[in-house]
Structure 1
Amino acid sequence: MDLPLIRPNPPKLSQLVTGLQAIEASGTFSNNGPVARRFEAAITEHLFGGQGACLAVANATLGLMIALRYATLGQDETRKLALMPAFTFAATAQAAEWAGLTPLLADCDPDDWALCPKAEERLLADYGRRIAAIVPYATFGNAIDLDRYAWLARRHDVAIVIDAAASLGSLDSEGRGFGTGAPFPVVYSMHATKTFSTSEGGLIHCADTAMIEKLRSMANFGFEGSRSATLPGINAKLAEVSALIAEAKLGDIKTIAQHREALANRYRERLAAFSLQRPSGHGQAMQFMAVLLPGALAAHRPAIIEKLAAVGIGAGTYFSPHLGEQPWFRESCVIDPLPVTDDIARRMLVLPVTDDMTSNDVDRVADSLIAICATLPRASIAAAPLRDRVLGTVVIGGGPGGTALLCAAGKAGKLDALASAGFAMIDRGAAIGAGRLGAYEITSDSSAETFLTADSALPAGLAIADEPTGQAIAEHKGALGVPLPKVGAYLDRLGEILDQRLRSLGGTVLNGHEVVSSQRTADGLWRTRARRIADGGSIELLSRSIVVATGGHQPAIRLAEEKVAGMSLVERCGNRLIQSDTLLATGGIEAVRERLPEGRAIRIAIVGGSTSAVTAAVRLLKASLPLDPGGIALLHLRPLRPFYPSADAAHADGYTDFGADDICPVSGFVYRLGGFRLEARELVIHTLGIGGRVGDPRLQTHQLTGDDDATAVDLLERADLVVAAFGYQPHALPLIDERGRAIRLRCEGPVRGPMVDDLCRIADSDGIAVPGAYGIGLAAGFVPHGRLGGEASFQGQANGLWLWQNDVGRLILDQILAAADGKMDTQRAVA
């Protein structure tokens, strides 16, 4: 077979004679000898930037065994479960069992094929402290989010050991060797079949050098400094000859990984009609190319492999059967439902990627596979096109942000132009409109009058102001906002009318679909892949532009990352901590009551100075909780500022704490963007005592001063409940460049910034606009400027339905229509 699936290519011993002679001369053949230690130092420097340390072991399975045993030392004896994906190699589960743990097999993610985060969270909630460790697998060398696992370790007090068997040579999202800086063990294989091909061997990397030394002792029978075991141990040491081979391989691994990545990119181009793994990070040390056959062809997989072999091409399956299907593990493991894993394992086909292959070889494999599939019954490998032409725009998300773009088009009389240019909106829900907005039991920070201006986006005869949902909004004219459940009903009805209008003009709305990713094509288009939630069917749409309107969330990792008075809230507050999103949503007060002590006055601290923080205080004050004076403490970083319609109005009210930079030059509003409005404003102006007002005695405020803020520490330590109100971050859609690599966005970077720039274009981690990609909605981070107004002093993000339905929506609309008309280079935009 001239193109085998795997062609091991370890360094040749015949070319390492000098090194072999040196080993013979030294008389040291194992026991952490000089070659092994030299290799450990070299790989730490070259692949992990000199961070932490590495331990070379006899094989990766032994590495997993000692890492898991050490990570769970001292835990309660009732903690015996090791949460891991069912879609992994048998060694992962076997190592856990040899370490005294019972594998808890969980489903995988349908896109990157790694352990499913939703399944993880559910199982952590269901099994609690019975889970001793999580053992994620970096599937086929693909990068996974190690920061998230560091947070899970802290949040749930679980051990983490990463199975990165195929990842030596892979690069993370920062371009570093995958695993760099991990605070827990990351275990790699150096087996002959891997990209980092030796003969047999493994490697453990960790940022904690002391942990590596403990693992070194465990790999040497548990000896620490003498031949007397002080730790559980086994013989897992890497022999000197194997270390010599590994040292030689290290010199070539970057070139080899880059070559294999280039082959994989060619596969991605040629096999785009198949389902492929969503890549993460900057490079994947490809052991082979994995593709999923269409469901209609899964039963023909053995025949496909046989037909490929007949033309000299090796192919096979991986993790099929998966762990949950293997007899030993079916008896010895706890197995969660595995629908995604079942499907992926049934359809998985792996194709050759070897060191000596060329791009022409990839073409040969791809051509052969496509031709074979075309001869089989019911073969259908191409996604059915939505249209027979390229769309102008695909909007991802049909909530308040996405429908706001349709509103802006309707108000500008350009909905017809938008639809005619080719338009599709994709949304998870059964209908577009309010998204989750109606699920919050608070009032809006926009007035009833503002909401009702959306009627101007609708043609005569389709206005909804006089319908029940519109009348329910009108009841609150002149009041301090509108209850969000009423706003949600109104926006759902508005979405229904806009949906009907759009479809009648030739546009498309795909409900019940979840977008997986959008990839930039070589010719400057966007290929957006969506999955039908009901049955997993997929569809791909090509467009000139995409608009990401996926809303915002409050990521839990921020609770561990952001420090308040010198310490993260997770470390200081533990299980006394909730996020403001939970409090503000339906059932939030009930959730708070369940966590508070009974029979005495309670103390609550709210951390944050955003609208959600002040709104949280408003809701708690309304809840008839047993509060003494100062029972609710609002800890904020920046001064609390109220909105005023003009400087004269502010002065007339006795408020003077503003300057020229705090006044919008277009509207004349004071703190137009940074000021609190409506109900939140009322609480702030009373709390500040403006105009002689008297604040609620149950509320105290404290402006944070730094790491040594003793007052903040005292308020947080004494609080029965701490509400984190750090604001929202965007649900950023995975964007992929034309080479199949993840585009790192500014909102996801190490120093996070707004998702969009001042033209609503999505920005990458270098602040450069991603061509043809725009963002709108909660947490997108757009800040009005120029003719759009806003005070010069504003810092933060501007969110508001009126803004999205008017100025922001129009800004995006003009750009995407210009691109569709060919009047604008899609790599730049004009104001």
Structure 2
Amino acid sequence: MYEQRLETTCGCVLGGAGPAGMGMLFNALKTGAIHDLARRGLIIVDASPTPGLGRLGDYQITANSVGDVFLDCLRSPEMAEVFAPLQASAAYWNIRNQAQEAPLLSEVGELLIEASNLVFEHILRLKGVQLWSSTTITEVVSDGDGYQVWVEHENSRLAIHCQSLVLNLGGHQDPQHLLDALAMQGLQLPAPHSIHSADRLLRMSPKALRAYFADTLQAGGKFTVVGGSHSAFSMLENVARALENVGLDEVTLIHRSPIRLFYESAEQAMANGYAFDPVNDVCPVSGRVNRSGGLRYRALAVGREVLERGFVGDTKVRARRFQSDGADPVQHAGASQALAESSVVIQCTGYQAVLPPMRFADGAAITLKKVTGGLDSDPSGCPCDLSGKRLHGLHLFGLGSGLGVDPLLGSEPSFAGRIYGVWQFHHDASRVVIESIIAKLERAEALAAKGQEVSRLLQWQQLMPGQNWSTLNLR
């Protein structure tokens, strides 16, 4: 590895050009903030040779939003010229024809990668914007008021000094995270245990799933899915559809808290016979039931079948279900027995942020504080370490990080997780991050200008020692 001692300086580094990072770039271009970022220097760093999407398009599931939600990310008068070529795109018209339906994520991915390429084509013309693809962030050092970002590219290592760092490198599922969560509920897996990541399985075709689990099915192994979110019910359906004709007749779902369903209004929920808390489960801004934590669209349909009939969607695979929070001893005992008997345990309990090694300038390691569903961050995505120190200028809001619920935007009071999603990345989440970055860069410029004034004053004092300088206003 060749380490270049020549270092680069810029105002902001955007680490990761997946759904969250691209959401920020789309928003900066739409609002005109891209020019402020470009003037101060913006370097986009992504490990992929073809940045712009991340792994979103790899998932073999439906989205938890209708097509129009993704089209809204492109719908802006300021972006009309940039996205004009999409009028001739089959991917665009495919999503537009599903405007009120939930499309496959693979189809959403096709649209967003085309749109991302158009955004790159536009912003890379601006002086001050650079894209470093096939480049990996290997270390981040907090050095006073800024950050030193070490990166590797083609066997070379160099550092970027920046005032602000946006770090959305994706999420991963750590098996230990599941074991710790189960232990907190008084549950455990027998050793040796087999934990499978839903993130990996949800990107596999039915044929690949059948091949992957062939030996387990032949041995009569039992399957258990742990989780209660969109991904858990998508996983139930994918497994049931792929394996019901090759031996799978039952799957168990273990969820910590009650399964929540999304409805556009309290009236719609009541018409469907759904019981909910009229205060804690209803968003006071939108009036939607379980706006943030409820199952939507295809996952909602599968969830209702599991709750009402005890089958996975329209398949013949039975669904056993146990709530593991301990509120019901019988349910808790059933969960414990199911885990003990399982040959396959599929982890659908959220993501942890992918992070490079981080440290302070004195060498002390930085460990970011976690909360339910992500990182403990302020409204602009600035996290804090385990001691409570807020890392201003560092922003994370993507998968595994998320942002806390904003009362002004609304959410049901019962939701205790973090907010993230493609629409949020393109709107509210990235908006506050962009505003925070620009404000920090403006403060740094003001301090630098004041420092220059003080330096000039000191020079004049040396040249003209008898002059009274105390009346000068250096604010």
Q: What's the TM-score once normalised by structure 2's chain length?
A: 0.83
1: CA distance between counterparts of 2:214 and 2:400? 30
Residue 638 of structure 1: aligned partner: 257
Q: 1:755 to 1:497 in 2, by over 3 A?
A: farther
- Which residues of 2 match residues 20-169 of structure 1 at below 5 A? none
- Which residues of 2 match residues 665-704 of structure 1 at below 5 A? 665-689=284-308, 698-704=318-324
Question: What CA deviation, in whole Å up to 9, does each residue of 1:258-284 have, x standing for no partner?
Answer: xxxxxxxxxxxxxxxxxxxxxxxxxxx
Equivalent in 69, 82, 96 of residue 474 of structure 1: 96
Residue 111 of structure 2: aligned partner: 490
Pair 1:515 & 2:133 matched? no
Pair 1:717 & 2:340 matched? yes
TM-superposed CA distance for 1:770, in Å, is 0.4
The AA in structure 2 aligned to 1:461 is: E
Q: Is the 8 A contact 1:529 1:539 kept in 2?
A: yes
Residue 735 of structure 1: aligned partner: 358
Q: Is the 8 A contact 2:373 2:418 kept in 1?
A: no
SS of the counterpart of 1:485? helix
2: CA distance between counterparts of 1:761 and 1:773? 5
2: CA distance between counterparts of 1:608 and 1:429? 30
Q: Is the 8 A contact 1:401 1:804 kept in 2?
A: yes
SS of the counterpart of 2:379? coil
Residue 204 of structure 2: aligned partner: 586
TM-superposed CA distance for 1:445, in Å, is 1.4
Q: 1:753 to 1:417 in 2, by over 3 A?
A: closer
Residue 652 of structure 1: aligned partner: 271
The AA in structure 1 aligned to 2:197 is: Q
1: CA distance between counterparts of 2:169 and 2:313? 41
Pair 1:795 & 2:416 matched? yes
Q: 1:452 to 1:720 in 2, by over 3 A?
A: same
Equivalent in 375, 387, 391 of residue 770 of structure 1: 391
SS of the counterpart of 1:814? helix
The alignment of Structure 1 onto Structure 2 pairs a total of residues equal to 434
Q: 1:627 to 1:658 in 2, by over 3 A?
A: farther
Residue 779 of structure 1: aligned partner: 400
Q: 1:471 to 1:486 in 2, by over 3 A?
A: same
Q: 1:445 to 1:465 in 2, by over 3 A?
A: farther
Q: Which has the larger radius of gyration?
A: 1
Q: 1:782 to 1:694 in 2, by over 3 A?
A: closer
TM-superposed CA distance for 1:634, in Å, is 0.8
SS of the counterpart of 1:605? strand
SS of the counterpart of 2:320? strand
2: CA distance between counterparts of 1:525 and 1:488? 34
SS of the counterpart of 2:103? coil
Q: Is the 8 A contact 1:400 1:434 kept in 2?
A: yes
Residue 369 of structure 2: aligned partner: 746
The AA in structure 2 aligned to 1:650 is: A
Q: Is the 8 A contact 1:663 1:672 kept in 2?
A: yes
Equivalent in 147, 151, 157 of residue 538 of structure 1: 157
Q: CA RMSD in A?
A: 2.9
Residue 166 of structure 2: aligned partner: 547
Residue 453 of structure 2: aligned partner: none
Residue 455 of structure 2: aligned partner: none
Q: 1:825 to 1:465 in 2, by over 3 A?
A: farther
TM-superposed CA distance for 1:384, in Å, is 4.8
Residue 216 of structure 2: aligned partner: 596
Q: 1:406 to 1:717 in 2, by over 3 A?
A: same
1: CA distance between counterparts of 2:255 and 2:302? 15
Q: 1:823 to 1:788 in 2, by over 3 A?
A: farther
1: CA distance between counterparts of 2:93 and 2:160? 39
Q: 1:824 to 1:810 in 2, by over 3 A?
A: farther
Q: Which has the higher contact order (CA 8 A, sep 6+)?
A: 2
Q: What's the TM-score once normalised by structure 1's chain length?
A: 0.49
Q: 1:816 to 1:421 in 2, by over 3 A?
A: same
2: CA distance between counterparts of 1:753 and 1:488? 24
2: CA distance between counterparts of 1:742 and 1:629? 47
Q: 1:694 to 1:582 in 2, by over 3 A?
A: closer
1: CA distance between counterparts of 2:374 and 2:394? 17
TM-superposed CA distance for 1:531, in Å, is 0.6
TM-superposed CA distance for 1:667, in Å, is 1.5
2: CA distance between counterparts of 1:426 and 1:738? 22
Q: 1:476 to 1:603 in 2, by over 3 A?
A: farther
Q: 1:824 to 1:651 in 2, by over 3 A?
A: farther
Q: 1:626 to 1:811 in 2, by over 3 A?
A: same
The AA in structure 2 aligned to 1:431 is: T
Equivalent in 36, 46, 66 of residue 427 of structure 1: 46
SS of the counterpart of 1:766? coil
- Which residues of 2 match residues 292-311 of structure 1 at below 5 A? none
Q: 1:806 to 1:540 in 2, by over 3 A?
A: same
Q: 1:730 to 1:824 in 2, by over 3 A?
A: farther
Pair 1:759 & 2:377 matched? no
Residue 452 of structure 1: aligned partner: 71
2: CA distance between counterparts of 1:825 and 1:769? 22
Q: 1:754 to 1:787 in 2, by over 3 A?
A: same
Q: 1:544 to 1:624 in 2, by over 3 A?
A: same
Q: Is the 8 A contact 2:64 2:296 kept in 1?
A: yes
